[in-house]
């Protein structure tokens, strides 16, 4: 039971650190810097996904399991992409606001 608690703590800690790092990377000026972590997360999920993809004579149940595993393995990727797109839309809105303030002067 103690090992499970420690593992859950480590998983949540890594999840939180990756979210924090994603926010920091998205605040940088580079357009592509915020896509590094989602790409790493997606590539890291591929072995899990492909381990289900090569089951011979897979029926409907196996394909449902494949889609489920794909979604679960990419939860972090989805969260990181949501942070990226939210940050970029906020940045774009702030840029337009600054432009309008400059034009008002």
* Model pLDDT, residue 64: 85
Dist CA 105 CA 103 (whole Å) = 5
Dist CA 75 CA 82 (whole Å) = 11
Give pTM, 2 decimals. Answer: 0.80
* Model pLDDT, residue 78: 96
What is the residue extent of each domain of the chain?
2-104
* Model pLDDT, residue 49: 78
* Model pLDDT, residue 67: 85
Asked if 87 and 27 count as a contact pair (C-beta separation under 8 A), the reply is yes
Dist CA 28 CA 34 (whole Å) = 8
Dist CA 35 CA 80 (whole Å) = 8
* Model pLDDT, residue 53: 65
pLDDT along the chain (105 residues), means of 10: 92 94 90 92 88 72 83 94 92 85 76
Q: Is the dihedral of CA 15, 76, 8, 50 positive or negative?
A: negative
Asked if 25 and 45 count as a contact pair (C-beta separation under 8 A), the reply is no
* Model pLDDT, residue 69: 86
């Amino acid at each position: 039971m103690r090992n499970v608690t420690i593992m859950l703590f480590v998983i949540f800690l890594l999840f939180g650190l990756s979210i924090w790092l994603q926010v920091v990377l998205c605040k940088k000026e580079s357009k592509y810097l915020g896509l590094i972590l989602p790409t790493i997360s997606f590539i890291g999920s591929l072995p899990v996904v492909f381990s289900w993809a090569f089951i011979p004579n897979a029926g409907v149940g196996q394909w449902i399991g494949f889609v489920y595993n794909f979604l679960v393995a990419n939860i972090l990727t989805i969260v990181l992409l949501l942070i990226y797109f939210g940050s970029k839309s906020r940045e774009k809105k702030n840029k337009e606001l600054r432009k309008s303030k400059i034009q008002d002067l």
